[in-house]
Chain A
Amino acid sequence: MAVLSPSQPAPARSGRPPRPPRRVGFSQRLGRWDVKLSPYLYISPFFVLFALTGLFPLVYTAFVSVHQWNLLGGQGDFVGLQNYVDVLNQPVFWKSLANTLSIFVLSSVPQVILAITIAALLDQNLRAATFWRMGVLVPYVVAPVAVSMIFGRMFADQYGFVNALLGIVGIDAVGWHSERFASHLAIATIVNYRWTGYNALIFLAAMQAVPRELYEAAVIDGAGRVRQFFSVTVPQIRASIIFVVITSTIGGLQIFDEVRMYDAAGLGGPSKNWMTTVLYLYDVAWGNQKNFGRAAAVAWILFVLIIGIGMVNFLISRRISTSGPRAPKVSRSHTRVLLERARAAGSSTTTPGEDR
């Protein structure tokens, strides 16, 4: 700082009274830095911590992934992208990816729909509203491993509770551990059980912030409950929907506890029918192979994939939740163009916006 401050030439005393060169003092400069830099300084603790606990592992994982690396033996030779090639050549990897996507779709989609519905119900005038609102959060408080163990028992093939119930209704027992789709459905149920209430509360909070006048206006316009929901509520809570969709995408692609606890071996079953990519990563790193290099490669592939899918559903959910006519694009250049056009047209004629 001391280097920077005296760089200004000494003020000339000669007379040009109307416009003296502006003297920028150190205090002023400091003040300007303050305005510009302080906000970043204040939020920097998060980013410094993130760099330590998030960015460093990320980079280090990339480093591990280009080496031969055994859990116990440690770093081996540099192998370039061989680990990535190996992983991509493993049929189990692709199967785990398909399982992950299937479980993700089966969990996220019903979860968001169900959560919005529950939130809409909770948004009504209920007696003991706090009780009901806290009630939906209870599954979230239960440890995921405990939830998985209980559901694992319920979804047992031969002596399970669910199959017993189905038997009463006269439906044949479902092979929850033998049929691929059934196992995905069961695991998605466990995920949904845990997360639906949590998401419902986020939606509820957003719904309560929707101005009530909008509903009154809608009622006057003759909108029914359903129309109100789709034309007022959903567009108004758009931001929350995007938030929930993105968080549940990230969570959905990282499902681990539920599948790990779903059966005795915890490795996705004999045909790897419910092995997710994260479980595959775990098995490669800590299972029989103890191959950290390959596991790190899986981690990076998954990372890229999550970003990709996150972007895609960000775009999709933005489109879905923007209902009605599109809002005009607001950008500086656009405004400038409009202003110039208005000026060119002169003050006598109409300016945009006044003709309505």
Chain B
Amino acid sequence: MHRSTRPTGRTRRLAAATAGITTITLALTACAGGSDEGSGTGSDAEDGSGEEITLTVATFNNFGYSDELLAQYEAENPGVTVEHVTAARSEDARTNLTTKLAAGGEGLADIEAIEVDWLPELMQYPDLFTDLSDPELEGRWLDWKVEQATADGKLIGYGTDIGPEAICYRADLFEAAGLPSDREEVADLLGGADATWEDYFEVGKQFVAKSDSAWFDGATPTYQGMINQVMDAYEDPATGSPKDLAANTVVKDLYDQIATAAVDDGLSAGLEQWGEDWVAGFQNDAFATMLCPSWMTGPIEQNSGGITGWDVADVFPGGGGNWGGSFLTVPASGAHTEEATKLAAWLTAPEQQTAAFEAAGTFPSQLEAQASEQVQSFTNAFFADAPVGEIFSERAKAIEGAPFKGPNYFSIHQSVQSALLRVDVTKEQDAEVSWQGALDEFASLGL
């Protein structure tokens, strides 16, 4: 009697224990299975046959690659499917790219677009990218555009667009302040072909004397335009080593010049670029001019809903200047680097870049595309039908080359930019104190 009840109890408990163990095993195998699935993503699934492949292109903002454009490539190259992924902001794309590169290239697209600003950090590791140099493509781009993306003799990216800078201005505010408002007259007013920053700030003083609006949006974007004309701003191009900021008189002079113009002369609207106030400033007539790389025409139009009067003048202080621009790279870890290189070359061909320019205003870095009739005759209705194609090609010709940007460029640049923000935007410090802060920050970088 007594014994007969025990086995059942035991079996029940045994069963429970078994169930427990099974649950754990199941849970564990479930996660193992999950991670297996995860590693199988990407386009290498159909590898082997060489017939049907999918190439992914990852870009950000708006590169102007329409579905029709990609469909055209698919039609010309049977067996290739092109997938296009876009990130909203370039910063997102940057984090995505660097994190996945760090993870050994898992999950990267076959073609990854990069912005010129992240080039320095990637150029230190050229082995992560496929060498794209191709004798047939020589002479397709501006020389300096190719030099930017060349490391150890390897070309890691094909140039897409560049950002030749002009001056965008509010014709209506100019008129109200008694200044000429026609785009040729404005170009002459600001100094014409040999305009200087002094000219630009001098006209600004005349303007603010007669207007409630400021002359330019903020000290930092303007400083950005100035520093982009210095070929060796923060680092020595020969060695790549950073210059001591405290002894860098070129930077200090520019800093003093812009700080004086922005705060002492009251030319700045005191806005931080891309900030909420900056965006709202367009609607509130906060400023009358701004430095205007070709791609900036898009954001100006977006932020200025209901505001008319924007125009572009074919002039830029201190000679030409380039701000921004992108490249297409092929990560070396991809499964179809050869096909991807072919697609990247096709996408950056003059015809496609011209189409992209018409779609998104990304100004071509390809010589042939710049000279093409389509680009030359392109006008922008929002900017009072300004011939932006012609103007930005002229501005592109004025660019002398690309400044050297080494691995520490952006760290140092950021400390100077922060100093200007403290003076111009938050107004918490005067220029000298704030410069000292920049020097402290530079020192703490431990370069």
Contact = CB atoms under 8 A, between A and B. Distances in A.
Interface stretch (B52-60, B98-106, B141-149, B223-231): B98-106
A152 interface: yes
Interface stretch (B21-29, B163-171, B308-316): B21-29
Contacts of A38: 13, 16-17, 20
B419 A270 contact: yes
Most A Cβ at <10 Å: residue of B272, B280, B426, B427: B426
A38 B20 CA distance: 8
A296 to B, nearest CB: 13
Contact of A178 (B124, B427, B440, B444): B427
Interface in A145-162: 152-153, 156-160
B422 interface: yes
Contacts of B342: none
A61 B211 CA distance: 57
Using C-beta atoms within 8 Å of the partner chain, give the interface range for chain A: 35 or more
B27 A270 contact: no
Contact of A72 (B124, B408, B419): B124
A42 B19 CA distance: 9
Given A71-B102, A271-B437, A288 B444 contact: no
Interface stretch (B77-85, B241-249, B367-375, B410-418): B410-418
B444 A158 contact: no
A329 B198 CA distance: 80
B273 interface: yes
A27 interface: yes
Contacts of B419: 270
Interface string B258-280: 00000000000011111111101
A308 interface: no
Contacts of B20: 38, 41-42
B418 A271 contact: yes
Interface in A242-260: none
A27 B441 CA distance: 71
B98 A72 contact: yes
Contacts of A90: 444
B319 interface: no
A288 B410 contact: yes
B69 interface: no
A265 interface: yes
Contact of B95 (A92, A271, A286): A286
A271 B124 CA distance: 30
Most B Cβ at <10 Å: residue of A27, A71, A73, A288: A288
Contact of A158 (B17, B99, B271): B271
Most B Cβ at <10 Å: residue of A48, A152, A158, A269: A158
B444 A264 contact: no
Nearest to A289: B411
Nearest to B446: A86
B31 interface: yes
Interface string A1-45: 000000000000000000000000001001100100010011011
Interface string A76-97: 0000000000100111100000
Nearest to A266: B91
A317 to B, nearest CB: 35
Contacts of A44: 24
A173 to B, nearest CB: 11
A160 B271 CA distance: 13
A194 interface: no
Given A74-B102, A159-B277, A271-B428, 5 more contacts: A48-B27, A71-B102, A156-B277, A159-B280, A265-B274
Interface of B: 6-7, 9-10, 13-14, 16-17, 20-21, 23-24, 27-28, 31, 95, 98-99, 101-102, 121-122, 124-125, 128, 270-278, 280-281, 284, 286, 408, 410-411, 414, 417-422, 425-428, 437, 440-441, 444-446
21 contacts: A27-B7, A30-B14, A45-B24, A48-B24, A72-B128, A73-B124, A91-B444, A152-B276, A158-B271, A158-B281, A175-B426, A178-B426, A263-B275, A264-B272, A264-B278, A270-B418, A270-B422, A271-B428, A286-B95, A288-B414, A290-B98
Q: Which 9 A-B pairs have the closest CB atoms?
A: A178-B426, A270-B421, A159-B280, A156-B276, A264-B274, A270-B418, A264-B275, A288-B411, A158-B277
Interface of A: 27, 30-31, 34, 38, 41-42, 44-45, 48-49, 52, 71-74, 86, 89-92, 152-153, 156-160, 175, 177-179, 263-265, 269-271, 286, 288-290
